[in-house]
Amino acid sequence: MKFTETRLGGAYLIEPELDPDERGFFARTWSQSEFAARGLDPELSECAISFNHRSGTLRGLHYQIAPFEETKLVRCTAGAIYDVIVDLRWDSRTRGAWQAFELSAGNRRLLYVPKGFAHGFQTLADDTEVHYQLTGRYAPSHSRGIRWDDPALGVEWPPVSQRIMSSRDRQLPVMQAAQ
């Protein structure tokens, strides 16, 4: 696997190294020892999927507070997403900064999202599926979020004719109120 650190310290874009042959290819997308060797959390303990019927579906920006903060390893297994992370760490020089990546079934990239980040995505294709590997466990009482269009963040989402969102996500607070 090829690990590329993003401009938001601690977050990595990961590209599988393909081992091709006449059948197709084989590639690893997870190695506890390779993650640990880079100082990344190797204790991913849950997996989840998000299926989205329509292009333009937006989920996020979500995170969990202590003691249930989560590290996420995100991969798009069908379709494509515009994946956004926001640094919420109080002691970070990039606090409040965001970065986006296109993850797709075609490019097979993964995004390592450390604890202390909000995460969200917008689908770029119909029938998009996103696979998550997570640390800890989901704790609804500790689940939080930030508005996708918070003017203080200025996330530049791809334009869509119709944005599909949950009512919960539409009512999330701006970053300052969310903390």
C-alpha 84/C-alpha 88 separation (Å) is: 13
What pLDDT, on a 0 to 100 scale, did the predictor assign at position 179? 55
Helices and strands (H, E) in the chain, number of each type: 3, 13
Domains along the sequence of the chain with CATH: 2-20+27-178 (2.60.120.10)
Segment 62-94, tens digit of pLDDT = 999 999 999 999 999 999 999 999 999 999 999
Segment 15-37, tens digit of pLDDT = 999 999 999 999 999 999 999 99
What pLDDT, on a 0 to 100 scale, did the predictor assign at position 90? 93
* Active-site residue, selected from the candidate residues 12, 53, 62, 142: 62
* Active-site residue, selected from the candidate residues 12, 63, 82, 132: 132
Nearest to 3 by CA among 36, 25, 26: 36
Question: Is residue 63 among the annotated active site residues?
Answer: no
What pLDDT, on a 0 to 100 scale, did the predictor assign at position 176? 75
Cβ–Cβ under 8 Å, residues 115 and 70: yes
Question: Is residue 82 among the annotated active site residues?
Answer: no
Structure token digits, residue 65: 């507070």
What pLDDT, on a 0 to 100 scale, did the predictor assign at position 178? 53
| Per-chain mean pLDDT for the chain | 95
pLDDT band at 137 (very low <50, low <70, confident <90, very high): confident
